[in-house]
Amino acid sequence: MTTIHNPVIPGFHPDPSLCRAGGDYFLVTSSFEYFPGVPVFHSFDLVNWQQIGYCLTRKSQLNLDRLPPSCGIFAPTIRYHQGLFYMITTLVGGAGNFYVIARHPGGPWSDPIWVEPGMFDPSLFFDEDGKVYYTRRGERGIVQAEIDIPTGKLFTPLRMIVEKYICPDIEGPHLYKIHGCYYLMAAEGGTRFGHCEVIGRSSSPWGPFEPCPHNPFLTQRDQSHPPIRDTGHAELIEDAAGNWWLFCLGTRHLRYDSATILGRETFLSPLTWQDGWPVIASIPRIVGSFETDLLPPQNPGPALWQDDFDRRTLDLQWNFLRNPYEADWSLDERPGCLRLKGSAVSLQDWDSPAFVGRRQEHFQAEAACQVAFDPLAENEEAGLTVFMSNWFHYDLAISLRQGERRVVLKKQVGDVVQEIVSPPVGAGPLVLRVEADGLTYNFTYQESLTPDAGIRGKAAFTPESSEVRSPSFGGRGGKTPLIPIPSPPNPYPLGTGLARLLNSELAGPSDQATTFTGMYFGMYATGNGRPCQGPADFDWFGYRRG
């Protein structure tokens, strides 16, 4: 027996949808205001996933200009049909529902084919008779129409097919044909503690749909303070051997309170069929681990990950906040460094600051970077941020205070801002570091590991390596270099921040109860209303899981 640990894709990866093409599996998740949009993952076995690209990599596909936090891309669905991959989603705050098409899910993907602006959570179903159905959340239930795939035109008017199974807050529909019946699966109860998954069946794709007698067949809402909560927005898939599985989103919690910092993640459960209805193995809950003889061993991935910015493109781990301004960043101007040129845009603005970040995927984690930055005015800063949303983040940055170069820890929780300022620091690059234990973030700084600022600190590190599978179909094994995050002696502690003050339940915009994203560790530079007079050069960034 093999023990599988959840989540199978950790960190902010909500609303999973997946499809199978032969023996390969491809999965997409929501990305909201982050760019590129809709990350794509590949697996040979449903449990070990590797990111291979994004569906939306061009502004012509995804315009996020000045969208509010947690707007942007909601709930993608990926489908494979006759050699082509289709990803349909919604640009909330933009033009609505659209899909893109690709021959390989790693890209490139086509420009959008727009369908219509109504609501969100669209899905596609390719029936055996050649008809294609477009299904989404409506104003009062789930609506559906037959669609012309080449053009996005609806052949039939949108028609309500299910008003509710248990409660009227129904969304995230997926239509399947299984064992000769049409199944309409959906989420109900909102995406927080009342979240659940429900299903019905019919002899027609138009219904009426008979509700499952044990709805909700997936939920954590009947437990008191469970470590996994909010499960729902699920997808069913049959593997190449005929076994069934369920993927869904959920959140992890360390304590009794509601705080979650990692966002909604992707979880997996075995599934069986009883009397024509799906039953997950740990009725009706997702568990932190389960045993199975149907899956191979799970690879936890490298404990250490570092980017030295030696390539001319950014690693797939990295995201921008909304569409980046191309003049704000470069990998070419100082080879071997990521150069960020702080603009007038700050981390508080609903815009795109000079920011490059990656997800925090573990409660116990550490992030560090080495940055060279010489601020010339007190409005200028550059460094490391622990970022949940525009008004909820902790920043460890080099700045100018009272005419001297210092390290500043700035903690912003809503409209409350606190600063802790270091003594003056000398010229040259600094190592900025944050250590997380799930409850607190601890911030330290240190002079560069090399006394000569012109010698890049990574030269002193000892590389390691680990085997990875190629992202190509039936890929070959390869080597990816891994370099440990340096541990400088005698780092200077500057302060701590409570994790629960940045949790997604608290950090939502004023017009919604929660933010839909999760924590990022990022590098940034800003002039806070005026452009910086000089660039910030990041020599390396490292991430270590606890």
* Cα separation values, 168 from 137, 165, 477, Å: 11, 8, 48
Is pTM beyond 0.85? Reply is yes
Distance separating alpha carbons of residues 531 and 135, to the nearest angstrom = 46
Distance separating alpha carbons of residues 50 and 46, to the nearest angstrom = 11
pLDDT for residue 19: 98
Neighbours of 191 (CB within 10 A): 22
In this predicted model, what pLDDT tens digit does every residue of 146-184 receive, in sequence order? Answer: 999 999 999 999 999 999 999 989 999 999 999 999 999
Distance separating alpha carbons of residues 286 and 227, to the nearest angstrom = 10
CA dihedral (348, 351, 352, 356) positive or negative:
positive
In this predicted model, what pLDDT tens digit does every residue of 315-359 receive, in sequence order? Answer: 999 999 999 999 999 999 999 999 999 999 999 999 999 999 999
Nearest partner of 431 among 377, 375, 378, 366, judged by Cα = 366
**Is 505 in the active site?**
no
CATH of 2-292 given 1.10.760.10, 2.40.160.50, 3.10.620.30, 2.115.10.20 = 2.115.10.20
Query: Residue 185: which residues within 8 A CB-CB, separation 6 or more?
Result: 173, 174, 176, 197, 198, 199, 234, 236
**Is 15 in the active site?**
yes
* 456 or 113, higher pLDDT: 113
b/e for 331-347, b at 16 or more Cβ within 10 A?
beeeeebbbbbbbebbb
The class that CATH gives domain 304-545 is: mainly beta
Distance of CA 282 to the CA centre of its chain: 26
Q: Which of 33, 171, 366, 539 is catalytic?
A: 171
pLDDT for residue 444: 98
Neighbours of 242 (CB within 10 A): 6
- Domain spans in the chain, listed from the N-terminal domain onward: 2-292, 304-545
Distance of CA 486 to the CA centre of its chain: 27
**Any idea which of 398-402, 427-431, 457-461 has the lowest mean pLDDT?**
457-461
Q: Is the pLDDT of residue 510 over 60?
A: no
pLDDT for residue 325: 98
Distance separating alpha carbons of residues 47 and 201, to the nearest angstrom = 28
